[in-house]
Structure 1
C-alpha cells in the first residue's frame, strides 16, 4: 500500500467534530481576511499567473492590496455604493482577484459571471441583478455588447486589455486612482457575493452569500486539503473563479491563509495540468472527476515523467469512482478527498483521509461545524440505509448558528422559503447514510444534473431551444456518459410542417446545437438531440422529465 493509503487508517472524526466551535465576529469583511492582513509582508506571493500564450506574471499580497484600493476608488467614483452589484466577467487572472477584493472592501456585492456565457445568459443575470458596473476582458466583451442594450441598469463597462472604445480601460483608470482607501464597515451577515445557479424550473436563481460564508467554508477546505496550509503549499485548480468551485473552494480560501494560488487562463488539458503541477510545485488542488479521468488516460504513470509535489486532491461534482480513486493512490501517491456542497451552503460533507478513513464512492461525513442529516418529505431524519434528501441545519450540534448559509435567493422569496423545512435547508440531492455516518449519493431530487463537472438545469436550455422556429416543445435530461458522467440530451417535438428525412434531420440538429452554443454557455448545448412525436406529460400539463431520464438510464444499461 502507498504511504497515503497507510495514513488513512487513523480516525479522529468524532474528536474533531464534537469539539469544534464557530467563532464569527460581528464585524467581518472578506477583503480584510484575504488581502489586507497579509499586505504588510511585501514579498508574500498571492497569485502566479500564466496563459496559454506563455505570458506569466506574479502578484504579491502588497500589490493585490494596492490595486484593490485603486479599484475601490474607481468604483466609488462611478457611483458604486454598499450593496450595489458589480458584474465580474473575467477568467482566472490577477485582475479578477483585484476586483473581488475591491468590491468587498467597498461593501459592494461581487457578481462573478462565466466568460462562457452567451448574450442571453448574460442579459438575464445583468437584468435580474440590476448590476451597475461590469468588468470584462476580450473573452466576454462581444457577448456583453450584445446583452448591454437590454440592461438599463448597467451604467458602466470597464474593459481589461481590450482597447474597447465603448468602455473604460481598467489599467488607465487604476493608474489615475488613489492608492489609499478607507474600507466601508461591513458585518458578517452583510451580502458579499451573488452567484446564479441553474434552476430546474423557471429562470436561474441568484444565491446571495454573506461575508460570514468565508469562515463557514474553512473547515471543509482545511480538511479536504489535508490540513491546509503547510509550509510551501501552492494551490491550483482549473475550476473557473466565476463558479462556487473556483471562487469558494480555491481562490478565496487560499488567499485567506495568505498562500499562493496559480491562475491559468486557457483550456484544460491533461498536458497543461501536469505542466502546471510540475512547474509551480503545486501541493494542493481541486480537480473534477472528469479532469482526473482525462489525466489518468493521458498519463497512466505520471511520476515517471513529472516531478510532482502533490499532497492533497479534493474532488467534487460527481462520484470519483474506484478506477480514478485507485489511480490517484497508486500513480499520484495521494488519496482523493471527495466533497459535497452547493452554492447556497458550500463544503458541508466530505473526507479528510489523514483524519478519518475514506470509503471509495462515499460523499464522506459532515465536516466539523455542520449538522447534516438525510431527511424525508416531512423534514424528519430517516434511518441509516434509507434514502432521503441531504439537508443542513441552521445551527451546529452546539446550537450555534452555522455561518455557511446563503442569505436568500435574489428577488425570489418563494424559492427561499421553499428551500427550508423548518430549520433544515434542503439541498435537492438524495443520499443514504450508513451506520458510520458516511453519506452515499443516490441522485437528484429534481431534474438538476451535472455534466463534466458543470451543474446544469434544463429550464434555461429548453427556453433557448424553444425559441427556434422548428421547435414546438422540448425536454432536456442527462444522458449517462462514461467520460463526463452525463451529457446534455434534448428530446424535441418539431413544429408542424418541418421537413423530415435523414439529411434534413442532421442539418437541423447541427443548427439547433449552434443555436444554443451562440446564446448560452458551450457546455449547455445538447450533445445529442432526439426528435419525438410527443413528450410524456402529467395530467396537469407538466413535462415528465423523469420518464425520459429513466429511459436514457435503461438505454445506457443495455449498451
Structure 2
C-alpha cells in the first residue's frame, strides 16, 4: 500500500476575503466577552472582543494615515504585549504585510533580515533592537493611540494574495522570509477538529512568544476565529509559574513546546488543574517520558502535531482520534500527504522517506520572499518536500524520524536521532538528551549523545547496549549544562555539533 493520504479537500474560502476580518468575525457578537488576557501571577491585563476589534481596525487606520499603502511591509519589533497581535491584524486589515520577528534579535541580526524585505515601516517596542535604514518608525506608544481612531475598512480581495511574512527559525542556515496568503487562516479550520478539539467555550493558554507561528496561530488567531479566549503569559513569566496561571485563569487547553512541559515537570510531580481538558505540543517531537510524566501529573493527555513555517501543522493527534504511541499523529482531514523517495516516488507504507504536502493545500505558503529558485527547489512535481524524514504506518499514522539534515549515518545505516533519544532518555540520571552525528576523522563519523543529568558514560553506554542495536548506540558522551535550543525552544543540533568539546564544526 502506498504511503499517501487523500481526503476530500476543504471548501474554498469566499472570493472576497481578508484574514483579519475572518479572525474577528465573532467580535461584534461577543463584544463583551474576554478575547485576550495577558496573565501574570499578580494579575492580568484584559481585552474584550469589542476592544480588540476597535484596536485592530483603528491600527489599520493609523497605518494608512501614516502614509503606508497596500502591499507595504511592516516589520514588528514588539514583545509579548497586546500591541503585537493588534499591529499584526491591523496591518492585514488594511492590506499591508506585517512581518513578525523575535524581540531577542540583535541590531545586526534584524538589520540583515530587514534588508531582505525592505520594510516601509517598523513598529518599535521600548528597548527592542531596531534595524538600520530609513523605514518609518512607529513607536509602540503611538500604536496604542490608534485604538481611538475610526475603524478602517477591511481590504477584501483574492484569498490567494499575500497577507503576511514570517521568518523560518534559521537553525540550518540563514533565516528565510516565508510568504503566506490570506487563505492560510482559512486552512487552519482543519486543525480545530484534527488537533485542538477547540470550541467557543475554551480558554487556551499558549506559552510561546507572539512572533512564533505556533503562538500566532494556535495561541491567538484560532481561538479568536471560533470566539474562544486566548491567555498569554506576560513578560518575565517562567515555566515554573505556568501551573499557577493555568489554575488561576481556568485554562481548558494548554499549548507549549515539549521543552516547556519538561521544565514544568522538573518542579512539579503533581498538578491540580481541574479545568484543563488536554495539552497541545508542537515544534519538535515530545519524548515519551515527558508525555507520560504530564499524563501522570495532571491526568490529562497531550496531543502532538507536526508542521513547519511553510504550512503550519498538518499532522496531529486529537481528543477524538489519539495518535498511536511514538507517532506524531494522522494527516488532518482535508489534507493530501505523501512520503517520497529521493527520486520523488511515493514509497510503500512502513518505509522511510521524506514527508511531502500537495501543492493544492490551502495552508501551503506562496513562496520565499524574492527567492523563486529556492521556492521551486522545495517542490518535486506537485509535492512540497518538507525535509522531515518519516514513515507512514498501515493505518496512516506518521512516525517522525528526524530532519533530513539531522539524520545520522552510522556504518552505512541511517539512524534517526529521535529513536536514539527516546531510548536514552529512559536511562536513570540521563536528564535531557540530544543525539547527533559527529565526525571524528576525515572519513569516519560516530553517534554522540549530550546529556544534562549526572549519569556516567559507563552507565549510558550500558543502557544503550541493552536498548539499541549496536549501530544505533552512541559512542561518545558529553555532559552539558543545557541542551542548546533556538529562541522558540527547538533543539539546535547544529549548535550542539559546533560546540561539542574538541570536535567543533559541522559533520
Class of the TM-score when normalised by the shorter of the 2 chains? 0.7 to 0.9
Map of 2:393 onto structure 1:
434
Where in structure 2 are the equivalents of 1:497-512 lying within 5 Å? none
- Are 1:228 and 2:198 counterparts? yes
Return the alpha-carbon distance in structure 1 between the equivalents of residues 126 and 438 of structure 2. 31
2:306–2:328 contact (8 Å) kept in structure 1? yes
What secondary structure does 1:121 align onto?
A: helix
Map of 1:79 onto structure 2:
67
Return the alpha-carbon distance in structure 2 between the equivalents of residues 330 and 534 of structure 1. 40
Call closer, same or farther: CA 1:97–1:198 in 2, change over 3 Å: closer
Map of 1:393 onto structure 2:
358
- Are 1:23 and 2:3 counterparts? no
Q: Report how far residue 421 of structure 1 moved.
A: 0.2
Q: 1:330 aligns with which of 293, 296, 301?
A: 296
Give the TM-score normalised by the residue count of structure 1.
0.72
What secondary structure does 2:124 align onto?
A: strand
Call closer, same or farther: CA 1:178–1:287 in 2, change over 3 Å: closer
Q: Report how far residue 249 of structure 1 moved.
A: 2.2
Q: Report how far residue 351 of structure 1 moved.
A: 0.6
Q: Deviations over 1:30-52 (max 9, x none)?
A: 11111254224321211112357
Q: Report how far residue 427 of structure 1 moved.
A: 0.5
Call closer, same or farther: CA 1:253–1:487 in 2, change over 3 Å: farther
Alignment length, in residue pairs? 437
Map of 1:69 onto structure 2:
57
1:93–1:264 contact (8 Å) kept in structure 2? no
Return the alpha-carbon distance in structure 1 between the equivalents of residues 177 and 236 of structure 2. 27
- Are 1:412 and 2:371 counterparts? yes
Return the alpha-carbon distance in structure 1 between the equivalents of residues 242 and 207 of structure 2. 8
Map of 1:47 onto structure 2:
36
Q: Report how far residue 221 of structure 1 moved.
A: 3.6
Where in structure 2 are the equivalents of 1:327-366 lying within 5 Å? 327-354=293-320, 356-366=321-331
Map of 1:311 onto structure 2:
277
Q: Report how far residue 17 of structure 1 moved.
A: 7.9
- Are 1:99 and 2:87 counterparts? yes
Q: Report how far residue 23 of structure 1 moved.
A: 3.3
Give the TM-score normalised by the residue count of structure 2.
0.79
What secondary structure does 1:49 align onto?
A: strand
Call closer, same or farther: CA 1:222–1:89 in 2, change over 3 Å: farther
Call closer, same or farther: CA 1:487–1:86 in 2, change over 3 Å: farther
Return the alpha-carbon distance in structure 2 between the equivalents of residues 448 and 442 of structure 1. 8
Task: List runs of 5+ in structure 1 lacking aligned partners.
Answer: 1-15, 162-168, 396-401, 450-479, 492-515, 536-544, 549-559
Is the helix fraction higher in 1 or 2?
A: 1
Map of 1:174 onto structure 2:
146
Deviates more, 1:28-37 or 1:285-294: 28-37
Task: List runs of 5+ in structure 2 lacking aligned partners.
Answer: 409-423, 440-483
Q: Deviations over 1:54-99 (max 9, x none)?
A: 3632111111111122211211122211111111122322111211
Call closer, same or farther: CA 1:291–1:483 in 2, change over 3 Å: farther
Return the alpha-carbon distance in structure 1 between the equivalents of residues 381 and 171 of structure 2. 23
Q: Report how far residue 417 of structure 1 moved.
A: 0.2
Q: Report how far residue 206 of structure 1 moved.
A: 0.7
Call closer, same or farther: CA 1:448–1:82 in 2, change over 3 Å: farther
1:224–1:313 contact (8 Å) kept in structure 2? no
Return the alpha-carbon distance in structure 1 between the equivalents of residues 124 and 315 of structure 2. 34
What secondary structure does 2:240 align onto?
A: helix
1:290–1:483 contact (8 Å) kept in structure 2? no
Return the alpha-carbon distance in structure 2 between the equivalents of residues 276 and 436 of structure 1. 38
